[in-house]
Amino acid sequence: MKEELLVSGRQNLNIDPVLHIWHWQIPLYLFLGGLAAGVLFFAALYTIQGKEKQYPTAVKIAPIIAPFALVFGLLALFLDLKHQLYFWQLYTTVRLDSPMSWGAWTLMAITPLSFIWSAVYIKEIFPNWDWKFSFLNTFEAWCRKNIKIFAWIIIILAIILGVYTGILLSAFNARPLWNTSILGPLFLVSGLSTGAASIMWISKDSAERRVFSKIDLILIGIELFFIVHLLMGFMASSKVQIEAAELFLGGEFTVPFWIFVIGLGLVVPAILESLELMGKHIPINIPAILIIVGGLIFRFIMVEAGQVTRYLY
């Protein structure tokens, strides 16, 4: 058997012995971005379909999560930057090759739109809300009249945002665990699922809850399918990607991945939601919290594990 022993003189901080340059900020942002994308997607979808009355929580109440999620997400991204005073350089150029560049532009567009959307429906949450200035009332009325146009723009941006949270990672061919095109759709579906879970959690209307329970169930199914696909793809790929999959199939991330992401984050809530739909009484916040926390842990594990995988040593 041929053995190899490698000694490297390089000891750069956060690079050696194992790359760890991205910390908690990035997975937290990926989660918040996905959550905002999910919530906004459903709000826009049902507005376009003209079902505001049927799904009042999805259209009017839940979207208030989005501006908070996006602002905290952006704050996390800003904290991650090491040359913070130069962050504005992001907005001096458009680089289509770099997912981070068009992601930054997407955030620039969708964040103010999420504020506008929440403002239009703020009176649904706080009935005594007063804009104080008449021009704000005029602006609100104008937005409300053109809400379908806003909805079309938001639904497109929400899908881009959801996919982008995955493509941000999959663009790095140096990290075999991330370097797969399934990561974009997978993160989009996971984001939509956390969004649907939040709507289900907030909603007080049992019919609406049932619908979002069903939507969530379908999304969980798709997510599980994508995860199996991801691992199968790795196992059929090159050596570095086989090693990446092995991190989850017996390696150091096996326990957190299968217990917290697959078990508690997907399978258990799916069973609880099925029981609920079959007529058993289950407090809705249990599956909702499990899905949301599962989505968060999933992103932490993907970012941590991805940085362990490599081509050389």
In the complex, the residues that contact another protein under the rule CB under 8 A are: 1-16, 19, 21-22, 80-84, 86-87, 89-90, 92-93, 95, 97-101, 104, 171-175, 238, 240, 307, 310-313
**Cβ proximity to another protein, 100 vs 289, nearer residue:** 100
How far apart CA 187 and CA 161 sit, in angstroms, is: 10
Q: What are phi and psi of 53, to 5 degrees?
A: -70, -35
Minimum separation from the CB atom of position 165 to another protein (A): 14
Shortest separation between residue 49's beta carbon and another protein, angstroms: 35
Structure tokens at 300: 């932490």
The residue (of 215 and 302) whose beta carbon lies closer to another protein is: 302
Q: In sequence order, which ranges of 236-284 are alpha helices (DSSP H)?
A: 239-246, 254-256, 268-277
The single-letter DSSP state of residue 237 is S
- State phi, psi for 163 to the nearest 5 degrees: -70, -40
CB of 216 to another protein, least distance (A): 32
φ/ψ (deg, to 5) at 25: -60, -45
Cα–chain-centroid distance for residue 15? Answer: 27
124/243 with CB nearer another protein: 243
Q: Compare residues 175 and 209 and give the one whose CB is closer to another protein.
A: 175
Q: Which is nearer to another protein, 146 or 238 (CB)?
A: 238
Least distance in Å: CB of 161 to another protein?
16
E strand or H helix that includes residue 13: none
Q: CA triplet 262, 266, 268: central angle to 5 degrees?
A: 100
What's the CA gap between 216 and 201, in Å, rounded?
12
Which is nearer to another protein, 32 or 189 (by Cβ)?
32
CB of 61 to another protein, least distance (A): 34
Q: Mind giving me the DSSP string for 166-223? A: HHHHHT-TTSTTT--TTHHHHHHHHHHHHHHHHHHHH---HHHHHHHHHHHHHHHHHH
Closest contact distance (angstroms) between CB of 111 and another protein is 17
Of 171 and 267, nearer to another protein (C-beta) is 171
52 versus 80: smaller Cβ distance to another protein: 80
- What minimum distance in Å lies between the beta carbon of 167 and another protein? 11
Distance in angstroms (rounded) separating the CA atoms of residues 177 and 179: 6
Question: Cα separation of 266 and 291, whole Å?
Answer: 6
Calpha distance 99→104 (Å, rounded): 8
**Gyration radius of the chain over CA positions:** 21
State the nearest-atom distance from the C-beta of 81 to another protein, in Å: 5
